[in-house]
Amino acid sequence: MRLASSIVAFLILQVAAAADAAAQGAPAADDKAGTIRVLSDADRAIVSLDGTDVGVAPLEIRQVRPGEHVVAVRADGRGRREDRVTVEAGATAVVALDLEGGGAAGDRSGKDASGGKGDSRDDDSDGDAGSGTPGEASGAAAAGHVVTAPPAARGEPGPVVEGGPASAEELLLERRGLTTFGARALSRGRSTVAIGAGYPYLIDSRVLVGAMPRGAPFSLDAGVLFRTYGARWELGAAARATLVDQDPFSLGVFGDVGGGSTYFDDSKRNYFFASGGVAASLSGLGAVTITGRAYLSAWSDRHCPGEAGEGEPTELCQDYREDTLSVEEKARVDQLVGRGNIFDRDSGVRGIISLAVELALSQEWSGWVLIEGAPRQDERAAYTDLFHGAMFDEDARSYARVGLTYKF
């Protein structure tokens, strides 16, 4: 178990580091980060930060490390434009990059009106990037003035723009509604770490990281999973993509692939698995997500060494080879893996249906319950006590796990 815990800890650290990079290097403490608000005359132009696409304009990029960054916007048929922006801790730097008529770069170092730093101007002031010429806007930036943000950025009420930057309330609601098993994949900069316990897996954990920017035509996330039941452990990769996202309904596909072995013995037991299917979710109030899933689960298990004298076979394998099993036990083994096939790989595919309920306990934490079943399917030998002592006498073909998810 110590080895398994070390593996999980290592994977979590690696994926968390990747999540930080995807969020433009966001530091752990909010008061040490800044914000960049990107404006453009090209609606829904693609925005990149330091060479990485992060969303579509207009966009507010939060948790950006202080210092100089390169912001760029581009749109099909309208070219590309970039500028360098200096971000200060706790400040909001506003940059306007127009793709027609020249446009202008915004503030390079100041805070917004609420930040208490920088010389903010009204919309009709000289050097306003929204209405002035490129030369005027550049002069304002050189003088240290802040290019005026939309009303909402100054704390004033303003119209809601479709595809515009998310408000603080929207971002909090989005974080609250993040899921591990739902059909809605995480957006770039978002991650979840889930760990649970149940049957057949005594420990079941996975880490997911968003791969696509918020507002992209579709969403995709990926990560790693680790699970174990007693002597056996499995390590794999997981991915999820959203095909339909019309709140409160979402539809997506998901898949897992990986393998494993036993912890410390040389019993030659090893395992490979792959699964994939569809998921449909309903979400309510940003707090509860109910997901139905249907998928195919394939496996290839080795329970015994293929040759006599190889490794350290389990007692079952040794007794079967020496023909010292009782008639009932031998018949049961043959029923599970096929007559005389115990020394070959045990492979199969089953259809699984499941129901997941995820409840947001706070902005950072969710509790979840996952119930799965393989109705009218053959037993899997690895899920019986003949092959693993922690299992029931028969494969129950009904499974359940409960756990917690940390969202960030």
CA angle 100, 91, 73 (to 5 degrees): 25
CATH 2.60.40 in the chain is located at 33-164
Q: In this structure, which amino acid lies at residue 389?
A: G
What separation in angstroms does the CA of 396 have from each of 170, 277, 380, 384?
43, 22, 10, 9
When pLDDT is cut at 50, 70 and 90, the band that residue 79 belongs to is: confident
Residues in the chain: 408
Question: In CATH, what number does 170-407 get?
Answer: 2.40.160
**What is the DSSP code string of 248-306?**
TEEEEEEEEEEEEEESS-----EEEEEEEEEEEEEEETTTEEEEEEEEEEEEEEE-S-S
Q: Where do we find the tokens 């040490």? A: 32
Q: What pLDDT score was predicted for residue 341?
A: 92
Q: Pick from 267, 287, 254, 268: which is nearest to 357 by CA?
A: 287
* Statement: residue 393 has pLDDT above 80: yes
Element (H, E) at 358: strand 346-360
pLDDT tens for residues 35-45?
Answer: 999 998 887 78
The domain defined by 33-164 folds into Immunoglobulin-like (2.60.40)
Provide φ and ψ at 124, rounded to 5°: -100, 15
Q: Which long-range contacts (CB under 8 A, 24 or more apart) does 336-345 make?
A: 336/379, 336/381, 336/384, 336/386, 336/387, 337/303, 337/381, 342/303, 342/304, 342/317, 343/304, 343/305, 343/306, 343/317, 344/306, 345/300, 345/301, 345/302
CATH 2.40.160 in the chain is located at 170-407
Mean per-residue pLDDT, 119-128: 36
Cis peptide before 134 (omega within 30 of 0): no
Mean per-residue pLDDT, 293-309: 93
pLDDT tens for residues 334-361?
Answer: 999 999 899 999 999 999 999 999 999 9
Bridge partners of residue 30, in order along the sequence: none
Q: What pLDDT score was predicted for residue 263?
A: 79
Q: Which residues of 104-115 are buried (b: 16+ CB within 10 A; e: fewer)?
A: bbbbbbbbbbeb
Q: Which residue has the higher pLDDT, 231 or 324?
A: 324
Q: What pLDDT score was predicted for residue 145?
A: 29
Within 13 Å, how many C-alpha atoms sit on residue 115's CB side?
Answer: 22
